[in-house]
Structure 1
Amino acid sequence: MTSYTPDELFASTAPYYARYRPGYDPAFYNTLAQRFTLSGTERVLDLGTGTGVIALPLARLVGHVTAIDPEPGMLEEGRKLAAEQGITNIDWRRGDSTTLPAMHLDPVLLTVMGAAFHWMDRDQTLRELDQLIEPDGAVVLASGGAPGDIEPAPWLQIITDVRTRYLGPQRRAGSSTYTHPPERHQGVLARSPFSGIDIIRWDRTLTRTLDEVIGLQFSYSYSSPAQLGDRKDAFEHDLREALTDFAPAGTFDEIVRTEAIIATRS
């Protein structure tokens, strides 16, 4: 797999990520609470936490969350959000899947990962987590589902067209390009110690404003301010104009999926 440095991918996205990413369906957290009988005492690891999209709501259900991310700006945004919400049981730590053995973490009941697992050496990460997760614990992967699982909203093509004019047809990833792993996470999990797999999905409709749609684009590694450089303002102008022509009312509906893969030891 191609390796990417955090500065290339997400350094410029952090404030947009914190503000515009929609988070996961509340039913996801209810399911974890019921499935693992969370009592407010458990330790969990959020690996690739970003700005704490999962760590913040999960912290209300467990005793302690270790939130790890390689990008300092993401961690700083997470700390700000935690302070605003009065959440004090998250330990924000810089690191990634390759630094786990050296971080000397306490055992955890759950390791949760949002849209970060596909950036990792997945097989090696699961071997490391087998040493960390308690016997009755689990790996939990949360995402929007695999590409193509949901019919995209028609206005997303408008964004693709404008982004392609500025950044080309291939999905950018730092100074390189990105290709989604051909093997789904389920296949990697099936040959790991965590081969007992349950998949649960929830769909909801989100309505965004024009400003929210544009801000969301700057939260992605492939259309980040760093990728656009001095063309960021021009990109925003053209995107705003194209979306307004498409939807003059300025509202944009999209079906958003939360997919949870819960993997336990068989």
Structure 2
Amino acid sequence: MRYQPNELFTSTAPYYAKFRAGYSPELFTHLATRLSLDGTQTALDLGTGTGTVAIPLAKQVRKVIAVDPDTGMLDEGHKLSAERGITNIDWRLGDSHHLDELRLSPLQLVTLGQAFHWTDRDALLSALDKLVTAGGAVVVLGGPAPGAIEPPAWLNGVAEVRTRYLGPKRRAGSGTYTHPEESHREVLTRSPFSRIEVARWDRTVARDLDSVIGLQFSYSYSSPAQLGEHKDAFEQDLRKALLAFTPSGQFDEVIHTEAIIATRP
């Protein structure tokens, strides 16, 4: 199924910027070492959101071209990078289906953080083969597939409230989301970037009640736009449900990050 990129994260940008946990610093240290990033490379961060990858990566390359189909995301990302004094990110409106319209220069690195599953993966990798220079890499970041690990009990409470308001199917813009049957690794293995390495990191993130609630509004499937006039009621019911699970108001979660580094053989 092809999704409409510009409608997936409508209304989420302020919550995304404030409440997403981001990636472990070890990830960027690993990429710099493994890919010999020395400040001379041009990187494309596709589906950049608010710059979760682009902002820390900018310290290691000459330029990051940060592309997203949502203007709100780009505005938040530009604001965050300006606050950090980062000036080598080129924020651009666009998506994976229209790379030719971006008139991209040769790339040494392409990153996709939690965005690859929204794309036509085979077509995208074929297009990137024409843009990524010899010795370059495509790096896909993400976590385990849905259902692969047991969530903390309080996340089950979140799912119950979300289902009550939005139904059992995971929403995605004006449609619903189905997780790809093929893994990212399988798709990459048959692509021009078929040499695969995988690195993983686990870390525990502690959130308070307001942060857990704000996080839900950063997701495509429980965004303010999806909830509409029921947003306040959803928040009130979610607050009650979370405190029933964890009266202390502290919610710990182990975040699993996987980096698939794909290069040409």
**TM-score bracket relative to the smaller structure:** over 0.9
1:61-111 alpha-carbon deviations (Å, 9 max, x no partner): 111000000111100000000111110000000001111122211111100
Q: Residue 210 of structure 2 corresponds to which residue in structure 1?
A: 211
- For 1:186, the equivalent position in structure 2 comes to 185
Matches within 5 A, 1:52-131: 52-131=51-130
Is 1:196 the counterpart of 2:202 in the alignment? no
Aligned equivalents of 1:2, 1:46: Cα separation in 2: 20
User: Is 1:25 matched up with 2:44?
Assistant: no
Give secondary structure in 2 for the equivalent of 1:98: helix
Contact map agreement 2:43 2:61 (CA 8 A) in 1: yes
How far apart, in 1, do the equivalents of 2:54 and 2:2 lie?
27
Matched residues in 1 for 2:150 and 2:26: separation?
A: 22
Is the 8 Å Cα contact of residues 153 and 245 (structure 2) preserved in structure 1? no
CA positional deviation for 1:41:
1.7
CA shift at 1:150, angstroms?
2.5
Find the counterpart in structure 2 of residue 233 from structure 1.
Answer: 232
The one-letter code matched in structure 2 to 1:163 is R
Which AA in structure 2 matches 1:146? A
The answer to whether residue 32 in structure 2 is matched with residue 38 in structure 1 is no
2:41 touches 2:61 (CA, 8 Å); kept in 1?
Answer: yes
* Structure-1 residue corresponding to 2:156: 157
The yes-or-no answer on 1:166 pairing with 2:165 is yes
- For 1:167 and 1:147, the matched residues in 2 are separated by 18
The residue number in structure 2 matching 1:3 is 3
Distance in 1 (CA, whole Å) between partners of 2:196 and 2:146 is 20
What are the superposed Cα offsets for residues 34-58 of structure 1, whole Å, 9 maximum, x if unpaired? 0111111211000010110000000
1:99-147 Cα distance to aligned partner (Å, 9 max, x none): 1122211111100001111010000000010011111011000112222
What is the match of residue 242 of structure 1? 241
1:227 match: secondary structure = helix
Name the SS for the 1:109 alignment partner: strand
Aligned to 1:146: 145
Helix, strand or coil for the counterpart of 1:127? helix
Paired letter, 1:150: I
1:221 paired residue number: 220
Give the SS at the match of 1:60: coil
- SS for the counterpart of 2:261 is strand
Preserved CA contact (<8 Å) 2:2 2:120 = no
Q: What is the TM-score when the length of structure 1 is the normalising length?
A: 0.98
Q: CA RMSD in A?
A: 0.9
Q: Find the counterpart in structure 1 of residue 47 from structure 2.
A: 48
Residue 148 of structure 1: how far off its partner (Å): 2.6
CA deviation after TM superposition for structure 1 residue 178, in Å: 0.7
Residue ranges of structure 2 left out of the alignment (5+ in a row): none
AA at the equivalent of 2:6: P
Among the aligned pairs, what percent are the same residue?
Answer: 62
Mapped contact 2:2–2:119 kept (Cα < 8 A)? no
Q: Quick one: which amino acid aligns to residue 2 of structure 1?
A: R
Shift in Å, 1:3: 2.4
What is the alpha-carbon distance in structure 1 between the residues aligned to residue 146 and residue 80 of structure 2?
29
| Structure 1 position 174, deviation (Å) | 1.4
Which residue type is aligned with residue 187 of structure 1?
E
Q: Distance in 1 between matches of 2:137 and 2:241?
A: 44
Q: List 4+ stretches of structure 1 deviating above 3 A.
A: none
Instruction: Return the alpha-carbon distance in structure 2 between the equivalents of residues 139 and 218 of structure 1.
Output: 29
Alpha-carbon distance in structure 2 between the residues aligned to 1:167 and 1:160: 10
Q: Match of 1:137?
A: 136
Secondary structure of 1:253's partner? strand
What are the ranges of 5 or more consecutive residues in structure 1 without an aligned counterpart? none
